[in-house]
Structure 1
Amino acid sequence: MIDGAGRIIAANRLFSLSATVLAEALGRLEGAAGGLCPAVMAPVDQVSRWYDLQVVPLAEGGRRLVFATDRTVETHMRNALIESRARFKDIVAISSDYSWETGADGSFTAISPKGLAGRGADQLIGSHPALLLDADKPAPAVLPFAAPAPLDGVELWLRHVDGRSLCFEVAAVPLYDQRGHWVGARGICRDVTEDRRQRATLAAQRNAERLFARITTVFHSQANPDDTLKMAASACTHGFGANGCLILATTTPLVKGVTKVILEAAASFGAVGTEAEINTVVARLMAEPTVASPRLLGTGSWSVLAAPTVYAGNLMGAVLLWRDVERPAWVDQDSRLLQNVAGQLAVAIQQRSDYHVLLDVSRTDPLTGLLNRRAFYEEVCRRFNRLTRSGQTAALVYADLDNFKLVNDVHGHERGDVALHHMADILRGNTRSVDLVARLGGDEFAVWLDNADRTVAVNRAKVFLAAAKPLIRYSGSPQKPLKVSFGIAVYDSSLNEDINEFISRADRAMYSVKRAGNGNFGLPATPRRR
């Protein structure tokens, strides 16, 4: 209680305001409605405390009754809340994340000032989040904007106003009212587009490294260059995500003086275009054969990524990757990787070319160009084994020049070589492409007549004999003319003979003819069936 001068007359034990503070507060009460003075700060025991003062006039001598309510705790809590909200508001405003809130109808009710996906906050309030989704990207089964339960790390693709696709990582919590009814959701979005792009780039680089390592391993693991290219075509198909791969090799390398390059298929894997589509792509690629960079060449329903393969400055071939136009388009990373792969393939194609040259040399008689003994018997063994399974027939004809030694002795080896060339032309010119003709060595020759029975073999021997008559002009002596003796063996599955026995029959038949006077053909007596 205070008197008319503001002096404290009486107070309970909890009243702790000093007369000075009380006087200042009473001064603020002048003209205040209801005699209420809120938020009066007073130091109490060196601690600031806050009071609400209410003054009630008394009828006795101008005295007044002062009620002081301690509001320190409430004031501190209110100030802390205000500060916290201000801090949170500043954090939200400067954060790189996007905060939002949706209502019971699913539309935005609150969003951070900078908006979302290129749209301002004022544009988004009241709109539905589904309108922001990128229709070309997969969406989660439950959108975070309508989360029925807490969600974290959900990937969401939104379409920016400028048309770009943006990837956001979203965390959200549901909002429920006091009755437990869902009334919306609240969450934050973090733009991870650049992170996803970097991840995709890194993944593509790793895939490129794996593919390149795979192809390099193929080159080192395959002894046969043809197998190397086949494995490389398979690796490229899978590594590039293509439908198929076609590797072409030149039959006429692009070097000085060569104006037209011919490409042939060296290896293929998966689904590729038709012959007409391949020719179209190759023609467009060869329009600029010296351009080493990969090119995108569409044809029909195919999108083809093509690159020439160049070795030591020479065009060795090309690699064509085929992808259905409905599948994802080729990207720059594919082109860069294919250019590196094409360099490796160029080396492999060159090795394949060298390999076939060596193979031809090792399988060919250098004088006549016919198969040599080793190559002939290797192929005959394969065909003989096939006969035992298929039940088809074939004939083996052995030929030996009679009195050939005298040709060399009298006319010299050069004349003898001419005679051997002539004999090779006789056999080569009177056989089919499916038949085999070989010079076994010296003046011995052999012919495999595919799918030939006894009648066909005999008729062919007669043709050989007639064609060999001009050989007489190479004779070393009229008394010993140059002729040819032929021995024939016809395959018979009922004899159950092996390849050596079959060859021996032809050999015996030939020597029987030579002993009988040569210049003829003969068949051995039919052996007894086993």
Structure 2
Amino acid sequence: MSKNRQKSLEKNLDEKADSGESEKRPDGSASEQEKLLAGYPGAALLVAADGSVLHSNAKAAGLEALIEHDAAPEIKNLIEEARSQGSVAAGSVSLNSAKGVIVLEITVIPGLGKTDEMVVMARDMTMERNLRTALVESRQRYKDLVEVSSDFSWEVNPEGEFVFVSPRGALGFQAEELINRKAGDFVISPEKFSPLPFVSERPLDKVEIWMNHKDGSTACVILSCVPLMAEEDGKQLWKGTRGVCRNVTEERENESALTRVRRREQRLNYIVGAIGDEVEPDNMINVAATATVRALGVAGCRIYRRGEENTFMSAAEHGNTEGLDELDAKLATLDSSDQVVEITVGKWRVLATATNYRQRVNGALSIWKAASGDGWKDDHRLLIGDIANQLGIANEQISNHERIVALSRTDGMTGLLNRRAFYEEEIPRRVKRLEHSRQKAALFYVDMDNFKLVNDIQGHQAGDDALLFLRDMLMEMSRPGDVIARLGGDEFALWLDGISEKVSEDRAARLIEASRKMRQFSGDDDHPLGISVGVAMFDPENGESIGDLMARADAAMYEVKNKGKGGYHMAPPGSPNRASKDNKTAKEKTP
């Protein structure tokens, strides 16, 4: 059929369908047949065996046009099928019209009237088909949205048993594994809910519950539900509940992990802040130990520093340390490759790790709690590592501070205390201690004789060797608790605690005797290198000031210089005024 004829037919079909016109047949029995066809609510017509239309009702104009113009071959095929098989034939026909696709349901019934005549009935199924399609699409859309927005949907009966679970199953179970099982059996601590969401008789939205997973783990789900109600004897009775659940376990775990990270940061910031607020470097480790115990809620903490012999030395501790005598030995093998070690010492469960600075172990950190309690958590292991990193920096800062202090207190060449450290730190501290113990002490002033000629004639290297020789000699003549200082140039001082005047004089005589070996460094034979020693005794009973004591020792030393050098002189225990006067007189006579 040509396109123009098709369009003409579609227009004719629409017009006839709208007008309801039907051609009159000249057959004598038309009135009786028309009555029969008119009783059918849709389009109906009577056709002969060859398919020609004999009679039609008022609504069959469009159907008649289809048959006459052979626009719907399917209809003629149904007519032929009914005629040849002598039984009802039915089928559907889709037609294009100006109003869209029209769907007709065609039924052909043979054997009415004359045996070769058949009734053709048509029912417009367009609206019903469209509604059915729309309904199917809507149901599929709703199903898809439910499945996307939830992990599983469910329904329980009045006994609280699952009667439906979405095909994908839930909580690691297949759907069939959950059917007829009580929903409450999967809820953790169901007694905390009133009512239990799965059997709620009122709508609930976004209720968070924890449930048991098939693999033994727990799952957090967000539940929303509506009750199923039915009216019986005028009353609304609860018949079950249906709803959806969304698994938010991963989200909750992520939130929990983030919370733990923030809590660790807060604790670490507290410890770092406490260390940073401490002005005195020597006290930083003590503050860190105290802050660690408080921040981590442990029984105790001990912080170590690594000494020159690579051994750990306890630098600070806080908390209960009872029964931890073996801890230091157990940590001796810690090195930078160790992460965090857990050991048991007596009644304590200990967590320890090394502190590092630039890949070098410079100490260790240990915390402990009762072994009878719970084990260490991951947060503790992470925190002790973070704290150790900060302590590694703190240990290095303290070491640097100690090196700076040592440099500021010691003489660069000899390694002895310098003038400032000797006068301002050591002597005042020792005098105060002696005032408490009421013991005596001796202050030696030692000055090298003819030292300038050594440098001028032998050179500065010989001068340095002579200074180091005198240092070694003073160290050999002193005890472990004595103090030796280089006051500058060729001047030295020696402080001896708890010594009598007689012993001091013997020590001075031995020094002079030993100093004869220094002549090997002399500038020339006429000016031998030696020492002059002035000794002043300190007696706390006299109430003498440190300045007066030093003046007496200095005056005694100059007394030797004035008498020809190379000897010692014991300063008289006179008054401070007398010592000052002697000091002035001695200096005036110095060549």
Fold equivalence (TM over 0.5): yes
Match 1:212 to one of 249, 268, 273: 268
CA distance in 2, matches of 1:457, 1:207: 64
One-letter identity of the residue aligned with 1:496: G
Task: Go from structure 1 to structure 2 and tell me whether the alpha carbon gap of 1:474 and 1:195 turns closer, same or farther (over 3 Å shift).
Answer: same
How high is the sequence identity, in percent, across the aligned residues?
A: 36
Match 1:470 to one of 517, 521, 540: 517
Q: Which residue of 1 aligns with 2:506?
A: 459
Match 2:319 to one of 258, 270, 276: 270
Q: Which residue of 1 aligns with 2:433?
A: 386
CA distance in 2, matches of 1:421, 1:119: 81
1:163 deviates by 11
Q: Which range moves more in the overlay, 322-331 or 373-382?
A: 322-331
CA distance in 1, matches of 2:569, 2:290: 52
1:495 deviates by 1.5
Residues 86-130 of structure 1 show CA distances to partners (whole Å, capped at 9, x for unaligned) of xx9969889xxxxxxxxxxxxxxxxx9655798999xxxxxxx9x
CA distance in 2, matches of 1:428, 1:120: 78
Q: Which residue of 2 aligns with 1:527?
A: 574
Match 1:246 to one of 265, 282, 302: 302
CA distance in 2, matches of 1:327, 1:459: 66
Task: Go from structure 1 to structure 2 and tell me whether the alpha carbon gap of 1:232 and 1:425 turns closer, same or farther (over 3 Å shift).
Answer: same
Alignment length (residue pairs): 359
Q: Which residue of 2 aligns with 1:412?
A: 459
Q: Which residue of 1 aligns with 2:448?
A: 401
Structure 1: gaps (5+ residues): 1-87, 95-111, 122-128, 130-161, 166-192, 253-259
Task: Go from structure 1 to structure 2 and tell me whether the alpha carbon gap of 1:467 and 1:269 turns closer, same or farther (over 3 Å shift).
Answer: farther
Task: Go from structure 1 to structure 2 and tell me whether the alpha carbon gap of 1:408 and 1:277 turns closer, same or farther (over 3 Å shift).
Answer: same
Show the 5 A alignment for 1:38-53.
Answer: none
Show the 5 A alignment for 1:53-452.
Answer: 207-251=263-307, 261-272=310-321, 274-283=324-333, 285-286=334-335, 289-291=336-338, 293-377=339-423, 378-452=425-499
Task: Go from structure 1 to structure 2 and tell me whether the alpha carbon gap of 1:277 and 1:433 turns closer, same or farther (over 3 Å shift).
Answer: same
CA distance in 1, matches of 2:342, 2:542: 61
Match 1:492 to one of 539, 542, 564: 539
One-letter identity of the residue aligned with 2:351: L
Task: Go from structure 1 to structure 2 and tell me whether the alpha carbon gap of 1:244 and 1:459 turns closer, same or farther (over 3 Å shift).
Answer: farther
1:196 deviates by 12
One-letter identity of the residue aligned with 2:572: A
CA distance in 1, matches of 2:185, 2:510: 91
1:493 deviates by 1.7
Q: Which range moves more in the overlay, 202-211 or 358-367?
A: 202-211
CA distance in 1, matches of 2:189, 2:538: 90
Contact 1:487–1:513 under 8 Å retained in 2? yes
CA distance in 1, matches of 2:378, 2:395: 25
Contact 1:246–1:319 under 8 Å retained in 2? yes
One-letter identity of the residue aligned with 2:320: A
1:199 deviates by 10
1:210 deviates by 3.3
Contact 2:438–2:541 under 8 Å retained in 1? no
CA distance in 1, matches of 2:420, 2:314: 28
Task: Go from structure 1 to structure 2 and tell me whether the alpha carbon gap of 1:120 and 1:460 turns closer, same or farther (over 3 Å shift).
Answer: closer
CA distance in 2, matches of 1:277, 1:219: 25
One-letter identity of the residue aligned with 2:329: N
Q: CA RMSD in A?
A: 4.0
One-letter identity of the residue aligned with 2:330: T
Q: Secondary structure at the match of 2:394?
A: helix
1:484 deviates by 0.9
Contact 1:226–1:266 under 8 Å retained in 2? no
Q: Secondary structure at the match of 1:228?
A: helix
Residues 3-59 of structure 1 show CA distances to partners (whole Å, capped at 9, x for unaligned) of xxxxxxxxxxxxxxxxxxxxxxxxxxxxxxxxxxxxxxxxxxxxxxxxxxxxxxxxx
1:413 deviates by 1.5
One-letter identity of the residue aligned with 1:340: D
Q: Secondary structure at the match of 2:298?
A: coil
Residues 204-223 of structure 1 show CA distances to partners (whole Å, capped at 9, x for unaligned) of 65653333112221332234
Contact 1:395–1:490 under 8 Å retained in 2? yes
Residues 186-233 of structure 1 show CA distances to partners (whole Å, capped at 9, x for unaligned) of xxxxxxx99999999788656533331122213322343321112111
CA distance in 2, matches of 1:270, 1:522: 55
CA distance in 1, matches of 2:442, 2:354: 46
TM value normalised by structure 1? 0.59
Residues 335-363 of structure 1 show CA distances to partners (whole Å, capped at 9, x for unaligned) of 11111111111111111222222222222
CA distance in 1, matches of 2:189, 2:451: 103
1:376 deviates by 1.6
CA distance in 1, matches of 2:365, 2:398: 15
Higher relative contact order (CA 8 A, sep 6+): 1
Contact 2:311–2:332 under 8 Å retained in 1? no
Residues 372-392 of structure 1 show CA distances to partners (whole Å, capped at 9, x for unaligned) of 111222111111122223323
1:302 deviates by 2.1
CA distance in 1, matches of 2:306, 2:564: 52
Q: Secondary structure at the match of 2:505?
A: helix
CA distance in 1, matches of 2:159, 2:433: 83
Contact 1:298–1:304 under 8 Å retained in 2? yes
1:271 deviates by 3.4
Task: Go from structure 1 to structure 2 and tell me whether the alpha carbon gap of 1:515 and 1:298 turns closer, same or farther (over 3 Å shift).
Answer: same
CA distance in 2, matches of 1:302, 1:443: 58
1:416 deviates by 1.0
Residues 470-494 of structure 1 show CA distances to partners (whole Å, capped at 9, x for unaligned) of 0112122322211111111221122
Contact 1:398–1:486 under 8 Å retained in 2? yes
CA distance in 1, matches of 2:375, 2:304: 23
CA distance in 2, matches of 1:510, 1:473: 23
Task: Go from structure 1 to structure 2 and tell me whether the alpha carbon gap of 1:281 and 1:396 turns closer, same or farther (over 3 Å shift).
Answer: same
Contact 1:399–1:484 under 8 Å retained in 2? yes
Task: Go from structure 1 to structure 2 and tell me whether the alpha carbon gap of 1:221 and 1:120 turns closer, same or farther (over 3 Å shift).
Answer: closer
1:503 deviates by 1.4
Contact 1:211–1:235 under 8 Å retained in 2? no
One-letter identity of the residue aligned with 1:222: E
